[in-house]
A and B are shown apart, each in its own frame.
Chain A
Amino acid sequence: MSYLEELKVKIENMFSPEKCYFPKENLLSFLVSNSEVRGALSYLKDVEGFKHFVMLSCVDWLEEGKFELVYIVWHPEKKVNAMVKTKIDREKAEFQSLHDMWRQICTYEREIWEMFGVNFIGHPRLEPFILEDWKDMPPMRRDFDTLHYVNEHYEWREGREESYKPRDYIGEAFDEWRKK
C-alpha cells in the first residue's frame, strides 16, 4: 500500500470527502464541504507535511450554478500532490480567505476575485490586479460573452469576415476524424 493510498484511507476516516480518487499516479484529489477545507489543508500541511502550496484555481460549473475552488499542495519528501476541492454557490460567491496558511494564497485569491468575482472574506488586499478600469462582469465567468464585448468595444479590420474560416474548411475532415 503506497503512501497516497494510506493517506486516502485516513482522509476518508477523518473528513467526509465526496469524491476521493487518483487522477494521476502521484496525485490524490478529494472534494470536501466548505467548512472542512481549512481543516483538511491544515491537516495536510501540519501533520502530513505537505509544506509547499502549488496553486489555487477556480472552475466555473455554470450548469450546476457552482464555483469549484481547487487547492493543490505538494509533499517535498514523498514527492506527491494532494488536491483539495470545494464547491461554493455561484450566485453568492463568497469564501473564507486562507491567506494566513500560505502567504502566496493572497495573490491567487486576488486574481480569482478579479477574474471570477469570488469574494474572499478576510483578504487584506482585494483590489484590481491585472485588469485596469474594468466595468463589466468578471471576464473569466463562462456566461461572459467575449465576442459581444469585442463588438461593443473594438473596431474590426475590414476583410476579416470574408477570410476563410478554419472550422468550415476542415469541418468535414474533422468530423470524420472524430468518428474514428
Chain B
Amino acid sequence: MCTDNPGVWEYIANWARKHSIWVLAYGTGCGAIEMPPTMTSRYDAERFGLRGAATPRQADLLIISGYLATKTLKRVIRTYEQMYDPKYVLALGSCTINGGMYWDSYNTIKKLDLYIPVDVYVAGCMPRPEAIIEGIIALQKRIEEGRAEGAKKYRENIEWYKKNQREVFGDEMLPDYTWNFEGGI
C-alpha cells in the first residue's frame, strides 16, 4: 500500500501491521542468545504479535542482535534487500550504535545506520529481553504513527547507502540484482 497518501485505509493497514510482526530468525552477534527467552514462555513476545519467520521474503522485522563484522554486514544487507516492503530494522546493543566494546576492532562496523536504515535502537550490552520488548513497543508506536518508513528511505537514498557500503566492502561489493531489478526494491 502506498505510504505517500495516508488516509483511513493506511491507518487501518498500519494498525494491522503493528499487531503482526514477523521476525527474521537471523542472529548476528551475542544478542542472538537473548532472542530465545524473548520468544518463549518466560517473556512471551507473541503476546505483542511477534513471531519467527523462516525466510527474508516472509519477514517484516530484521533484528540486528549485536556487533556486525564486515563479512556479516554483507549478508545482512543482502537479507535486508530481499525483504518485502514494509520492512523494519531493530538494532540491539551498543555495538550497532557506536561500536561498543569493539570500538577499535579492525573488522566491526561502528555505525549501522550508514548502511541500512534503522528504525529503533535499543541500548545496552546486551539489552535484556525486557529492553527488547520495550524496543518492540516503540517500534509498534512508530508503525502506528506511520513513521517506520525505512524501506522508502532506503529506496530514495540508495546512492548514499551504496556509497557507504562500497567504502567498507571495496572491490567485493554486493551484486546489484538484489535491489536493482525492474521495478526497484
Chain A residues with a Cβ under 8 A of chain B: 130-133, 135-136, 139, 144, 146-147, 149-150, 153-157, 159-160
Residues A149 and B110 in contact, CB atoms below 8 Å apart: no
Of B107, B114, B169, the residue contacting A155 (CB under 8 A) is B114
> Is B28 positioned at the interface, with any CB of A under 8 Å from its CB?
no
Given contacts A155-B114, A157-B98, A157-B110, contact A132 B70 (CB under 8 A): yes
Is the Cβ of A156 less than 8 Å from the Cβ of B110?
A: yes
CA distance A133 to B172 in the complex (A): 7
Asked if B111 and A146 sit within 8 Å, CB to CB, the answer is: no
B4 within 8 A of A: no
CB <8 Å contact, A139 and B70: no
A56 smallest CB distance to B (angstroms): 22
Distance, CA A126 to CA B107, complexed state (A): 21
> Of all chain A residues, which has the CB nearest B113?
A157
Closest A-B pairs by Cβ, 6 of them: A157-B98, A133-B172, A147-B104, A154-B110, A146-B106, A149-B106
Smallest CB separation, A114 vs chain B (Å): 12
B110 CB contact (under 8 Å) in A146, A147, A155 = A155
Please list the residues of chain B having a beta carbon within 8 angstroms of any beta carbon in chain A.
Answer: 70-71, 74, 97-99, 103-107, 109-111, 114, 167-172
Contacts of B70 in A (CB 8 A): 132
State the Cβ distance, B89 to closest chain A Cβ, in Å: 17
Interface centre among A149, A150, A154, by most B CB within 10 Å? A154
Q: Are A160 and B98 in contact (CB under 8 A)?
A: yes
Q: Is the CB of B106 within 8 A of A139?
A: yes
Given contacts A131-B107, A144-B106, A155-B110, 4 further A-B contacts (CB under 8 A): A131-B71, A154-B111, A154-B168, A160-B103
Contact (Cβ within 8 A) A157 B111: yes
Q: What are some 11 contacts across the A-B interface (CB < 8 A)? A: A132-B74, A133-B170, A133-B172, A146-B105, A149-B106, A155-B110, A156-B110, A156-B111, A157-B110, A159-B98, A160-B98
CB pair B170–A150 under 8 Å, yes or no, is: no
Chain A residue at minimal CB-CB distance from B98: A157
B104–A133 touching, CB < 8 Å: no
- Nearest to A157 among chain B residues (CB) is B98
Q: A116 to nearest B CB, angstroms?
A: 14
What's the minimum C-beta distance from B169 to chain A, rounded to whole angstroms? Answer: 7
Which residues of chain A are within 8 angstroms of B99 by Cβ–Cβ distance?
Answer: 154, 156-157, 160
Q: Which residues of the partner chain B approach A131 to less than 8 Å between Cβ atoms?
A: 71, 107
CA distance A133 to B74 in the complex (A): 12
Q: Which residues of A lie under 8 Å from residue B107 when comparing CB positions?
A: 131, 139
Residue of B at shortest CB range from A147?
A: B104
> Taking CB as reference atom, which chain B residue is nearest A150?
B104
Question: Closest residue to A133 on the B side, CB-wise?
Answer: B172
The answer to whether A132 touches B172 (Cβ under 8 A) is yes
Interface pair B106/A155, CB less than 8 Å apart = no
Q: With A132-B70, A132-B71, A160-B98 in contact, do A153 and B168 touch (Cβ < 8 Å)?
A: yes
Taken together as a complex, chains A and B put the C-alpha atoms of A144 and B107 apart, in Å, by 13
- CB-CB under 8 A from A154, the residues of chain B are 99, 109-111, 168
Cα A154 to Cα B105 in complex, Å, equals 10
